[in-house]
Amino acid sequence: MAESERGICAILPGDSDDALLAELHTLFPSARHEPADALFQQRVRQVVAAINTRDVLLSLPLDIQGTAFQQQVWQALCAIPCGETVSYQQLAADYRQTHGGTRGRQRVRRE
């Protein structure tokens, strides 16, 4: 798990600390690796508990980075209730319905 000044910016699965640190360096090349303080360790425990049981609701600061579209997808993913699944096809259909999916299919008539 990685955290910026604004909040959690990465949660990566894995067993090898070296591999995870290498992946974090790839994602955030200018980031500094610092020892985990007590608050960060508590947040890690909360995330692990939420992964292991569906009854844990998280309210942690997040630093969601990405394009406007990626952030909209993230918001849609966050709206999926815990324990439910949604296919990418359904997520895309919901997005098109909400955001006017016909725009990409409109053709300009040339004369």
Q: Which residue has the higher pLDDT, 85 or 98?
A: 85
Interatomic CA distance for residues 44 and 99, integer angstroms = 35
Residues 3 and 43: beta-carbon distance below 8 Å: yes
pLDDT in tens, 5-25: 999 999 998 889 999 999 999
Whose tokens are 């303080």? That residue is 37
Q: Which domains occur in the chain, in start order?
A: 1-64 (3.30.160.70), 66-111 (no CATH)
Residues 12 and 1: beta-carbon distance below 8 Å: yes
Look at residue 102 and tell me whether its pLDDT is greater than 70. no
The DSSP call for residue 55 is: T
User: Three-state SS for 7?
Assistant: coil
Q: What is the structure's pLDDT at 69?
A: 85
pLDDT in tens, 67-82: 988 888 888 888 888 7
